[in-house]
Amino acid sequence: MRINYPGTIRIIRLPCTGKVDVIHILRAFEKGADGVYVVGCLEGECRFSNGNLRAKKRIEQAQQILDAIGIGGERAQMYNLSSADGPRFAEYAVEMTEKIKKLGPNPLKKAKEKMAA
Amino acid sequence: MIVAEKKPVEEIIDYVKDFKKLLIAGCNECVTVCEAGGKKEVGILASALRMYFLNEGKKVEIDEVTLERQCDHEYLEEIRDRIDKYDAVLSLACGVGVQFMAEKYFSTPVFPGVNTCFLGAAEERGVWSERCQACGQCILGETAGICPISRCAKRLLNGPCGGSTKGKCEINKDLDCAWQLIIDRLKELNRLDDYEKIMPIKDWSTERAGGPRKVVREDVRL
Ligand code: SF4
Ligand code: SF4
């Protein structure tokens, strides 16, 4: 298909979005990610029946924590698509990138710089 | 098991915001099983707090440990050699563990990371419900294995009350009437005659009403 999507995104492959845990999302932010999004199969179409629904709930938990600690829950998001839908994948990548650009970089980066200074 | 729930991160932050060296201590038993205070939850909380402090521009050291139990000397002793390094401990054990930690390390502030809820069972994944109030004088033998002390809203010994409707308790239509459950099971066990027996007044002195309790077993003491 040779569809382009923003090169700022780093893909981490998982056997199923059900493998995602809150700690993985938090660690990504701790390591400096500006945003984290999980792309799962369409709801109702999980090969393992509810992996993507689990992921959704875990994203929600992570969002709550991110809000509580001042990073902002909107930096984490769940998307769903059919695994055959390449164009949609690229669309989500653009959408998320735009959203994060608006939010600006992970506030921890600035905090780290300040600490080091 | 002892069922607990995670405290909101905001509440925990409020407890520990002024400390510089924190130990987050999980427990490998009940709170691990009910996913409130095991190794995994310790990791999540530690990560969240590290980010919080960094974002606030505060330099705080956070260490993680998960002990086999926090209600036994031998496991709590495992951190004796380093406890003085910390200016506070956040314990994710049940209230018992938090207190035992506080007793043992008298000069270190200890804060609870979970709300300890009750003695209960895992009905299904993610759902826990109360089964016992540790009354100290178990009557399950007379009540078909269903506890009216913990499961009947009125703790009736000779139920049901007049509010029992279609098997549900009058305080909440989603709650089974414990006495309906008892009767149903006595029927199943062909022991309905037992239901006719009037249960005597319970000796509540073995329950919390008699003050804080203690069990001393001379046969197992050293
Ligand atoms: S009768 Fe007492 S000890 Fe037995 S299950 Fe009920 S509360 Fe627990
Ligand atoms: S309805 Fe049943 S469970 Fe509820 S208070 Fe009455 S006897 Fe107890």
Identify the band that residue B13 occupies on the pLDDT scale cut at 50, 70 and 90: very high
In this predicted structure, the answer to whether residue A53 has a pLDDT above a threshold of 90 is: yes
Q: What is the dihedral sign for C-alpha B11, B9, B6, B39?
A: negative
Domains and CATH numbers, chain B: 2-118 (3.40.50.2300), 133-208 (no CATH)
Sheet of strand B61-67: strand arrangement? B61-67, B21-27, B88-91, B110-112
In this predicted structure, the answer to whether residue A19 has a pLDDT above a threshold of 90 is: yes
CA A99 to the chain's CA centroid: 12
Residue A107, domain member (yes or no): yes
β-sheet bridge partners, residue B127: B124
Phi, psi at B168, each rounded to 5°: -110, 155
Distance CA(B72)–CA(A12), nearest Å, equals 42
Tokens of A99: 């959203």
Would you say A40 and A46 are in contact if contact means Cβ atoms under 8 Å apart? Answer: yes
pLDDT of residue B210: 87
Residue A36 identity: V
Would you say B7 and B44 are in contact if contact means Cβ atoms under 8 Å apart? Answer: no
pLDDT of residue B62: 98
Compute the average pLDDT of residues B28-55: 98
Kindly report the CA angle at A1 between A5 and A81, in degrees rounded to 5?
Answer: 65
Identify the band that residue B34 occupies on the pLDDT scale cut at 50, 70 and 90: very high
Q: How many domains does chain A have?
A: 1
Would you say A79 and A92 are in contact if contact means Cβ atoms under 8 Å apart? Answer: yes
Residue A96, domain member (yes or no): yes
- Nearest by CB to residue A27, choosing from B9, B47, B57, is B47
- Mean pLDDT rounded to a whole number for chain A: 95
* Cβ <8 Å between A65 and B50: no
In this predicted structure, the answer to whether residue A116 has a pLDDT above a threshold of 90 is: no
Tokens of B52: 């919080």
Residue A10, domain member (yes or no): no
Kindly report the CA angle at B1 between B62 and B138, in degrees rounded to 5?
Answer: 145
Would you say A71 and A106 are in contact if contact means Cβ atoms under 8 Å apart? Answer: yes
Give residue-wise pLDDT tens across range B160-182: 999 999 999 999 999 999 999 99
Distance CA(A98)–CA(A15), nearest Å, equals 27
In this predicted structure, the answer to whether residue A83 has a pLDDT above a threshold of 90 is: no
In this predicted structure, the answer to whether residue B198 has a pLDDT above a threshold of 90 is: yes
Residue A106, domain member (yes or no): yes
Compute the average pLDDT of residues B86-112: 98
Residue A3, domain member (yes or no): no
Residue A97 identity: T
Q: Taking a contact as any Cβ pair under 8 Å apart, which residues of chain A between 16 and 75 contact chain B? A: 21-23, 26-27, 29-30, 64-65, 68-71
| Between residues B210 and B161, the one the model is more confident about | B161
Enumerate residues 6+ apart whose C-beta is below 8 A from B180. Answer: B160, B164, B167, B168
Which residues constitute the domain of residue A30? 17-116
pLDDT of residue A117: 82
Residue A39, domain member (yes or no): yes
Percentage of residues in chain B having pLDDT higher than 70: 100
* Cβ <8 Å between A30 and B55: no
- Mean pLDDT rounded to a whole number for chain B: 97
Distance CA(A75)–CA(A59), nearest Å, equals 10
Tokens of A34: 């500006």
**Alpha-carbon distance A5 to nearest alpha carbon in chain B (angstroms):** 29
Residue A37, domain member (yes or no): yes
Residue B146 alpha carbon to ligand 2 centre in Å: 13
In ligand 1, the atom with minimum distance to the C-alpha of B148 is: 6
Tokens of A59: 């994203």
pLDDT of residue A1: 78
In ligand 1, the atom with minimum distance to the C-alpha of B132 is: 8
Distance CA(A62)–CA(A55), nearest Å, equals 10
Give residue-wise pLDDT tens across range A29-48: 999 999 999 999 999 999 99
Full-prediction pTM beyond 0.80?
A: yes
Residue A9, domain member (yes or no): no
Give residue-wise pLDDT tens across range B106-140: 999 999 999 999 999 999 999 999 999 999 999 99
CA B155 to the chain's CA centroid: 20
